[in-house]
Amino acid sequence: MSVLGADLADLILPAACAGCGAERVPLRFGTCAACAAALEALTPFPTAPVPPPPGMPACTAVGAYEGALRGVLLAYKERGRHRLAGPLGALLAVAVARIAPRGVPVWLLPVPSTASAVRERHGDHMARLATHAVRRLRAAGWNAGVGWPLRALPRPDSTSLDVAARATAAENSLRIRGTRIRVLRRRPTMRGTLIVVDDIVTTGATLAAVTSRLREANMQVTGAAVLAATRLRSGRVPSGVRAVAGAPPGPKVLGSVPRTRGDGRPSAG
């Protein structure tokens, strides 16, 4: 019924495509057919800023921060199109499955949002994405869950900071939730593959800071999964790691996970 309601809403209150901005075109889950196909064609790849900040975990991205993926992310985060959390969460599950083995519990640890960001965006955007990603992983046979061991204090706008200042601001803003950490330590079901998830990686400062804070609580992060990686303007890229857009050759890594509906478009399931 929720899917039917969403489809009816698209018919009654048509909006521009979240990916390319095209108007007066049929939409399903917020995107036109061309953008839905572009998102579906994305294949996760390893990525890293150059140079990576100390302590940054190995990171896998769904795609580059451009085109349809960039448009959908902006529409979801900044324009309140929260229904996009479903298809974006499904894409995030693809990246997680790339680094999370089956048969071992996997915990998604979203990068926490500040209280002001939660208010401005009418909710925690990463918590929603992680929840949808876990649903997709469980449906495909992963023993997955979401944990919130950290909270974020206010911090300065990172757009005005250099790389070193971003790293300092990110680490200083993070605090361990004492009660949550005690629960994480006690419950054996919380042991397994710990993956930090975020929407975009740029300098890697936030992922490194989160990983550092979690290590203080004896939580060893296996890796990080993000939806998009920004292009790097310069620098040397380590062998086997992608710093710019482009999917590596070969089949998709999540063929066993239901990523789409029967019509080939991303599912909001």
Nearest to 63 by CA among 260, 258, 247: 247
Fold observed for domain 43-229: Rossmann fold (3.40.50)
Helix (H, G, I), strand (E, B) or coil at 197: strand
Write the pLDDT tens digit of every residue in 228-269.
Answer: 999 754 333 444 555 543 333 333 333 334 343 333 333 333
Write the pLDDT tens digit of every residue in 82-132.
Answer: 888 999 999 999 999 999 998 889 999 998 876 676 677 777 889 999 999
pTM: 0.74
Phi, psi at residue 125, to the nearest 5°? -65, -35
Q: Is 75 left (phi over 0), alpha (psi -120 to 50) or beta?
A: alpha
Q: How many residues does the chain have?
A: 269
| Angle made by CA atoms 193, 172, 184, in degrees to the nearest 5 | 30
pLDDT at 142: 93
Please state the domain extents for the chain: 1-41, 43-229
Write the pLDDT tens digit of every residue in 169-206.
Answer: 666 666 676 644 444 444 443 578 999 999 999 888 88
